[in-house]
Structure 1
Amino acid sequence: MDGVIAFPQGQTVLPSDVVSEDVEHMPPEDRLTVPERGMPPEHPGDMPTQSLWRFQRRNRRRFEDPRRSRSPIGRRIAVLGGALLLAGLAVYEMEQVLSVGGLTPIEIAVLVLFALNFGWIALAFTSAIAGYGIVIGRLDRPKRVAPGPLGSRTAMLMPTYNEDPARVFAAVEAMAAGLDSLRQGPAFDWFILSDTTDPDVALAEEAALIGIRERLGSRARIYYRRRRKNVSRKAGNVADFCTRWASGYDHLLVLDADSLIAPETIVELARRMEEDPDAGLIQTIPALVNGTTIVARLQQFAGRVYGPIVGSGLAFWTSAEGNYWGHNAIIRTKAFLASAGLPNLPGKPPFGGHILSHDFVEAALLRRAGWTVRIADDLAGSYEESPPSIIDLAIRDRRWCQGNLQHLFVLPARGLNWVSRIHLLTGIGSYLASPLWLLLILAGLALSLQAHFIRPEYFTEEFQLFPTWPVIDAERALRLFALTLAILFGPKIMGLIAFLRDREARRTVGGFKTILSFFFEIFVSALIAPIMMLVHTGAIISILLGRDSGWKPQRRDDGGVPIRSLIVRHRWHFLVGVALLFAASLDSLVLVAWLSPALLGLLLAVPVSGLTGSTKVGRFIRRLGLLRTPEEVDPPAVALAAQAARPAYDEMIARHPSLAVLAADPEKRAIHLSLVDRVPARPPGMIEAVEALSAAKIDDARTISEAVSFMTPQERAMVIATPSLLDRLASLPSA
């Protein structure tokens, strides 16, 4: 057979110009055994773009089970009404504190800013009260174990973007092998949806794919597709899968590159979708794991101790109008395709273009179309990882901030449920809270300086709780201070109590160590909070100036940064701290003490950032027993399985071929081409610049190695994704 390559196992493959074609449509006499393809045959489906401004209510889907799918109004009255009453009481007390001598313009500004900040924490407090009751009520409740095989098919989607392939594929192996051990493997197909732009990472992903298929064999079906262009980022990645393959599946379970879900939880999610015909999306509450630095373990501890009551409280009052956080959630395919096609926002980034924080909008569109969106707060076994340092938090939050501010243009969309609008508002508010807090500090400081320099004697030697105001009611101020502290720390205290009442969790971690960790978490969080306040404020200013966030891969492990970079990153935070300290010292030492929680974190921004992002310091804190969680002391089985599998993938990836080796080796090239995504037809006259430059550099070279040396990483990535270019490169002499 001319041009056919023999494999050691006796397989034969087609030449590279044929491998990428659809073998199913070839005549039987021309069909040959080929390497396993990257993806199964396409199953196209429509995913129409939804309009935010046109919607007819009569077209909304009707619930099949209205009693189950409608949300109880009493829960919303209790939580939202309680928050409104608390905020009203606090604002009234603040007005009485300030109005002793009449309200000045600065005092009015302080009152407005206080109202906005207090309303934010009041809702968190009343929601946490509801969550506390739910968590305590289910402590001794047995977990459901539903028998029998699933009757539906679920596509497990793992989008990845320049991530460590060893981490990604080890996690997939752990979850897929776990499902096989439960005898539920046939109900799930696994798809690694790559948007990777680094050519070396892309080739490493292919090596890991070949390895996982060999390791799992017939126990799981693993597929892989890398897009030539990562249009619309993660949302576009998932949408590409939806329009080409999703129609062959009942459900999509969307993961992230750092996701892990226990096999039992995956099965339960699919079963709940089968049992509830009105469910459009079910979102789990991921617990954070694998943290090695103080920042990561701080979030891990807070999420594990306080997170359950916060999540359960949110699930309690949102009910069928829950939210979607972009991963670790199962979605009904027909609902998603029919009603969640995202439109582009008018204008250019950062406010226009494709929607970055797509998940909130997709949840709102699903609910608008007549599907329920629920938060499975009772379902454990869902895990993810967190950024390892303040700098990594800042990079991630810059992207999230831009995406959430885009929601300002989604809020007026027609037909959205009012609870969906609240979700959008809370996402926006989570970032606007930082500049509001900063403005409140500056307004209070302005009041103090006004009293000191403009009016003769409003600051006495007696201790005064609010020395920044010219005239205050000290007794009311003290009551208001106590109320604010109770509302602010109430959710943390309730979360701690609920955690300590869980005998298994308390026995695993230790009650006394948990209490010590509670105070350590509050102290370190207080140091980090003012830094993040300025980070978020800077992000908002950057967005208002028209700067796009870009798309950078997230670091997952060590958050260590050289001291020089730390100084550069935090220089403005330190200088703002110095300015605030100087302004407060012009008034009094009492004012300096009052502002010390914010001042301390800003003045120590560089050492705080360096120490909290260091794995060495993180290991020391872990040896002390601080910030322990049950999952850290006794890791879940799926996490242990992923950890055990990772070295094997590291070894496979270390041996992956370079582009030059790939082009020179017909066998390796044939395997690679069997995994390449199809190249869409090019309209006449539309020349792809990167593709044209790659071809020109190949034509200009004398050998394969020389051609590769001419290319930029972007051009090498294009060659890897384009069979005709790879064949062109392979036609050159290897030396």
Structure 2
Amino acid sequence: MTDAMTLADAAPAPRQPSPSAEHERVGFRPAMPPEAPLAMPVQDLTRWDRSARRVPLRPEPRPYAARVFVFGGAAALTAYGTWQMYEVISVSGAATALQYVLLGLFTLTFSWIALAFTAAILGFFALLRTRSTGGVPASLSTRTAVVMPVYNEATARTFAAVQAMREEVEATGLGKHFDWFVLSDSTQADAWIAEERAFLRLRDELGPDARLYYRHRPKNHHRKAGNIGDFVTRWGGAYDHMLVLDADSLLSGACITGLAAAMEADPDAGIIQSLPLIINRNTLFARVQQFAARIYGPVIATGLTIWSGRDGNYWGHNAIIRTRAFAEACGLPDLEGRPPFGGHVLSHDFVEAALIRRAGWGVTMLPLLGGSYEESPPTLIDLSVRDRRWAQGNLQHARVIGAAGLALPSRQHFATGIMGYLASPLWLAQLVIGIALVLQTAWVRPEYFSAEFGLTPVWPRFDSVRALQLFGLTMGILLAPKFLGLLLALIDGATRRDSGGAVRLVLSFLIEILLSALIAPIAMLIQSGSVFRILAGQDTGWNPQRRDDGSIPLSDIIRRHRWHTVLGLLTGGAAFAIATSLFLWMSPTILGLVLAIPISWASGQLAWGLALKRFGLLGTPEEHTPPAVAQRAGELAARNARQGFDDVDALAALHADPRLAHDHAAMLPPATARPRGSIDADQALAQAKIVEADTLGEAAAWLAPKERMALLHDRALLDRLTRLRGT
């Protein structure tokens, strides 16, 4: 091809026939079922007509007694703790302004842990009387779409999970009531084509009755909420319910059919949330999370379920939703302003739960329904990346908490989510002010001329004995939910045996307490930094989550934690210079920060986690007896990995397989005419480069990532790609 050749001279061949014509010519099975549109109006957060609220078909019990116990008990504990703190700081007769600031910060943080404590007490006594439920329903009469949104995920794992769950549901004899959807928002060309290859292979394997579908959105507008919204508005009308998953979700057949049966049995339910347990984790950090979620999680979740009643919350996955109710009530508006507080709603799940409840539908949770699983980030750094996104989404709820018509418990869920991230900077501020007050006590001259006349100077002193007692009370309330979870596990014979026995269970508990105490100050600084950046107006991206076990390069760990270590050294040196007692009191925080780099490194070590696993430590019942769906998903993932779909360049795969190129083109949405004068720069550059290229190698080398995506969306450019020379 010569340089003199123009784009017009070298224009690609005429566009291929429409997808429908291609289907008829070669018998291509559509990747999606016929559309069944469902209107999803955008909701108004500023106005709400209460008369429009749906009237429940059944009386709604209100858990007033549970709420009085949880919130009244937390208020009483907070009042007592605040009074004790005032006695600590006012021993000299009058508190200073800085001491009053410390008192205010203490009240906020203490109320946070007091509320968790009273809810855990409620959950503990409820679990003493009940056990996990399960079982497959005898029949179903509704249709459910099981939807898995994916975003640049490894297909070997995601399609293995879909196949394993589908097999379990089919084995119940109720498979005809469920259709399976993989809804892709992937923005990487290799991930997109790998998904299509995995989908086509699995659909061929399952046969004509697979009821397996796949859709890729050209633009990931509004991210996951937009992905689900696109499905609801285009195909939601065909389904009574949708079961929303994450890419790491695994649910047993009994759990999936049980959720559908629960929705059928409750005509007023809008969302029913299951309690996902963490499984398949092997790094040290992930095993600590897995153990904590399994042993302590049910206590906290059960307490939350009881006091919430039908005003529950939604965590965005492993939950079943009434499709029409969701469409009518959960169209999310864009918030005024720019990110991080404006724009589309990032943590959409809390908002959707609040809006569907506002419309008169119940939002409930089944914490005792077994068979709901997920995974967790493998390292502390991976958790911090995900946590940064969650922090922005939860803080953004400050713009939604005052929305018109919301139930008071829904506002409490928002407040809890916001406080979950504000707690870290509040603890940090409390720590800094406490050090400042100690400095004042040690080095500031006494105030001889105070506002109130006295014969002795006013020294900024503390009641050390009362302070120690208050510290013990605070630690007891903070750790009580963990002790309650341990006690329940020891009482339950099956859980105790499957967690390694009483001795190993207690040792695991102590290991989790120690590691959590060391990680806590690091997490406090990481979360505080995230909050400060969000408040400064910095938006976060939406990077795919790393889900596989594996360590992070030491250079990255040092870069992430070097300032944590420096701060720990400075704090330790200053505390020791002020007073030995202050250094000893702060030693857990100082130690965690000084050792931030080795702790973070150790958190991602697969060998350390597996060593504890061999000794039976940090074990869970699901690890002792892996769920059948998890075992099957693991086998399928290993098989899928051998296919190598995730390891192949997208352009090379399309060039080497004309059938794949044809099927990919057939799955694209119909082309739309662009407005005159509106040029897509990525598409124009992709066209120029693909026309200029003589070989696949040249095209692959020249095309930038966004240009590759533009090429994959254009049937004419795809045709040109397939006709390039291979070398």
For normalisation by structure 2, the TM-score amounts to 0.93
Alignment of 1:196-207 (within 5 A): 196-207=186-197
Residue 70 of structure 2: aligned partner: 79
| TM-align CA RMSD | 1.9
Q: Which amino acid aligns with 1:438?
A: L
- 2:605 pairs, out of 614, 617, 624, with 614
Higher mean C-alpha displacement, 331-340 vs 504-513 = 504-513
Distance in 2 separating the partners of 1:507 and 1:355? 44
- For residue 150 of structure 1, give the secondary structure of its aligned residue in structure 2: coil
Partner of 1:46: 39
Q: What residue identity is the alignment partner of 1:166?
A: A
Q: Which of 638, 645, 651 lines up with 1:659 in the alignment?
A: 651
The answer to whether the 8 A contact 2:137-2:258 is kept is no
Judge conservation of contact 1:388–1:613 (CA < 8 Å) in 2: yes
d(CA) in 2 for partners of 1:684, 1:85: 68
Aligned to 2:709: 717
Q: How does 1:667-678 map to 2 (within 5 A)?
A: 667-678=659-670
Residues paired across the two proteins, number = 700
Bigger Cα displacement from structure 2, 145-154 vs 657-666: 657-666
Task: Give the Å deviation of 1:734.
Answer: 5.2
Structure 2 residue 105 is matched with structure 1 residue 118: no
Q: Superposed, which structure 2 residues align to 1:76-475 within 5 Å? A: 76-101=67-92, 102-139=94-131, 143=133, 145=135, 147-218=137-208, 220-455=210-445, 470-475=460-465
Partner AA of 2:546 in structure 1: R
- CA–CA separation in structure 2 for the residues paired with 1:530 and 1:75: 33
TM-superposed CA distance for 1:377, in Å, is 1.1
Q: CA deviation at 1:499?
A: 1.2
Contact residue 207 and residue 653 of structure 1 kept, 8 A: no
Cα distance in 1 for partners of 2:15, 2:139 equals 41
Q: CA 1:533–1:263 in structure 2 vs 1: closer, same or farther (change >3 Å)?
A: same
Matches of 2:655 and 2:284, distance apart in 1? 45
Q: Write out per-residue CA displacement over residues 583-603 of structure 1, whole angstroms, 9 at most, x where no aligned residue.
A: 212211110000011111000
1:557-706 matches, within 5 Å, as 557-654=548-645, 658-663=650-655, 665-706=657-698
What is the CA–CA distance in structure 1 between the aligned matches of 2:15 and 2:176, rounded to whole Å? 32
SS at match of 1:321: coil
Distance 2:673 2:354 in 1: 35
| Cα gap change, 1:410 to 1:147, in 2 (>3 Å) | closer
Distance 2:184 2:379 in 1: 26
* Shift in Å, 1:730: 3.5
1:87/1:119 contact within 8 Å kept: yes
- Report the CA distance between 1:674 and its aligned residue: 2.7
| Equivalent residue in structure 1 for 2:493, among 496, 500, 503 | 503
Cα distance in structure 2, aligned partners of 1:664 and 1:293: 38
Instruction: Write the letter of the residue equivalent to 1:366.
Output: I
Can you list the C-alpha shifts for 1:372-431, whole angstroms capped at 9, x where unaligned?
101111211100001011100110000000111111111111111111011011111000
**CA–CA distance in structure 1, aligned partners of residues 675 and 506 of structure 2:** 65
**Residue 219 of structure 1: CA displacement?**
5.6
> Could you tell me which amino acid in structure 2 is paired with residue 56 of structure 1?
D
How big is the shift at 1:680?
A: 4.8
Contact 2:136 2:257 in 1 (8 A): no
How far, CA to CA, are the matches of 1:231 and 1:636 in structure 2? 36
SS in 1 for 2:551: coil
Kindly, what percent of the aligned residue pairs are identical? 49
2 CA distance for matches of 1:491 and 1:665?
Answer: 56
Pair 1:121–1:193, CA change in 2 (3 A): same
Deviations 1:485-508 (A, max 9, x none): 221111111110011111111121
Once the two structures are superposed, residues 639-698 of structure 1 have per-residue CA deviations (whole angstroms, 9 ceiling, x without a partner) of 001011112211223486741452465323212223334445534443322222211222
CA distance in 1, matches of 2:644, 2:30: 19
1:21 aligns with 2:16: no
Q: 1:475: Cα distance to partner?
A: 4.2
Which residue of 1 is the match for residue 454 of structure 2?
Answer: none
Q: Is the 8 A contact 1:16 1:669 kept in 2?
A: no
SS in 1 for 2:20: coil
* Alpha-carbon spacing, 1:680–1:450, altered in 2? closer, same or farther (3 Å): farther
CA distance in structure 1 between the partners assigned to 2:407 and 2:21 by the alignment: 45
Distance 1:519 1:733 in 2: 63
- Alpha carbons of 1:79 and 1:641: their partners in 2 closer, same or farther (altered >3 Å)? same
Is the Cα contact below 8 Å between 2:39 and 2:328 reproduced in 1? yes
Instruction: Please tell me whether the aligned partners of residues 180 and 219 of structure 1 are also in contact (alpha carbons under 8 angstroms).
Output: no
- The 8 Å contact of residues 250 and 372 in structure 2, kept in 1 or not, is answered as yes
Q: Is the 8 A contact 2:136 2:254 kept in 1?
A: no
Q: Which residue of 1 aligns with 2:49?
A: 56
SS at match of 2:644: helix
Partners of 2:358 and 2:406 within 8 A in 1: yes
Q: Check whether the contact 2:300–2:481 (CA below 8 A) recurs between aligned residues.
A: yes
Equivalence for 1:5: none
| 3-state secondary structure, aligned to 1:17 | coil
Distance in 2 (CA, whole Å) between partners of 1:678 and 1:596 is 64
Q: Distance between the aligned counterparts of 1:658 and 1:441, measured in 2?
A: 52
CA deviation after TM superposition for structure 1 residue 214, in Å:
2.9
Tell me whether 1:514 sits opposite 2:528 in the alignment: no
Aligned mates of 1:503, 1:19 — CA distance in 2: 63
- Distance in 1 separating the partners of 2:721 and 2:120: 61
| Residues 299-347 of structure 1 deviation map (CA, whole Å, 9 limit, x = unaligned) | 1000000001100000010010110111000000001101101111111
What amino acid is the match of 1:181?
A
Greater Cα shift, 99-108 or 678-687: 678-687
- Aligned residue in 2 for 1:3: none
| Paired residue type of 1:44 | P
- Is contact 1:559–1:613 with CA below 8 Å preserved after alignment? yes
Per-residue deviation, 1:220: 3.2
Shift of 1:88: 0.7
Unmatched segments (≥5 aa) in structure 2: 1-13, 448-458
CA distance in 2, matches of 1:692, 1:487: 62
Q: 1:678 to 1:380 in 2, by over 3 A?
A: farther
Kindly report structure 1 stretches of 4+ aligned residues shifted beyond 6 Å: none
CA distance in 2, matches of 1:242, 1:23: 27
- Output one character per residue of 1:261-300: Cα deviation in whole Å (capped at 9) or x when no partner: 1110000100111111110001111000111111111110
Indicate the SS of the match to 2:320: strand
1:180 counterpart letter in structure 2: E
1:508 touches 1:630 (CA, 8 Å); kept in 2? yes
Cα deviation 1:480-538 (Å, max 9, x = unaligned): 23321221111111110011111111121211101000011000000000000000011
Give the distance between the partners of 2:211 and 2:693, measured in 1 at CA. Answer: 41
AA at the equivalent of 2:270: G
Q: Distance in 2 between matches of 1:724 and 1:244?
A: 27
State the alpha-carbon separation in 2 of the partners of residues 579 and 679 from structure 1. 61
CA offset at residue 539 of structure 1?
0.4
Please give the TM-score of this superposition, normalised by the length of structure 1. Answer: 0.92
- Inter-CA distance 336–679: structure 2 relative to 1 (3 Å threshold): farther
Q: Secondary structure at the match of 2:679?
A: coil
The gaps in structure 1 that reach 5 residues or longer are 1-14, 25-30, 458-468
Tell me how far 1:355 sits from its aligned partner.
Answer: 1.0
Partner SS state of residue 155, structure 1: strand
